Structure 1
Amino acid sequence: MELFVILSLPGIWSTLLIVVVVLLVFGGKKIPELMRGIGSGINEFKKGLAGDEKEEPKKNKEE
């Protein structure tokens, strides 16, 4: 069981390799734009979830 846990965790070299590949594919200027887009998408998703919770009590009062 311990061997499985050790092998499933990414090491420093594999993490470094992934970072280098991402930098090569997207470039240094494109990565902040991608992260900004992901962040705004997460915020919109959270707002959507909060909006659904606020709408449910209103629907119950109307019925």
Structure 2
Amino acid sequence: MLSNIGIPGLVLILVIALIIFGPSKLPEIGRAFGSTLKEFKKATNDLVSGDKEEMGSPKEESNVLAHEKSESKIGS
């Protein structure tokens, strides 16, 4: 979506933002936008790593169950 904007479109957006918000508010808006993106990225990474951990758990549990079953057959 953003790859279609190009340099002229980006400059136009920045000029419109400068007119609407003024030069004093733009750094504050930029910081807020940056921190929002950082939090979003962190939350996304946490969700992805949580999914990977959950997907690893059933395999470990099934391996433990299979091992226990094989030991019980050997012991019988």
Relative to the length of structure 1, the TM-score reads 0.60
SS at the partner of 1:29?
coil
Code of the aligned partner of 1:32: P
In structure 2, what is the equivalent of residue 50 of structure 1?
45
In terms of Rg, which structure is larger?
2
Alignment size in residue pairs: 53
Q: Larger RCO: Structure 1 or Structure 2 (Cα < 8 Å, ≥ 6 residues apart)?
A: 1
Distance 1:27 1:33 in 2: 11
Aligned-residue identity in percent: 30
- Aligned alpha-carbon RMSD (Å): 3.0
* Unmatched runs of 5 consecutive residues or more in structure 2: 62-76
Q: Deviation string for 1:37-59 (max 9, x for gaps)? A: 11111111111111011101322
Runs ≥4 residues deviating over 3 A: 8-12, 15-18
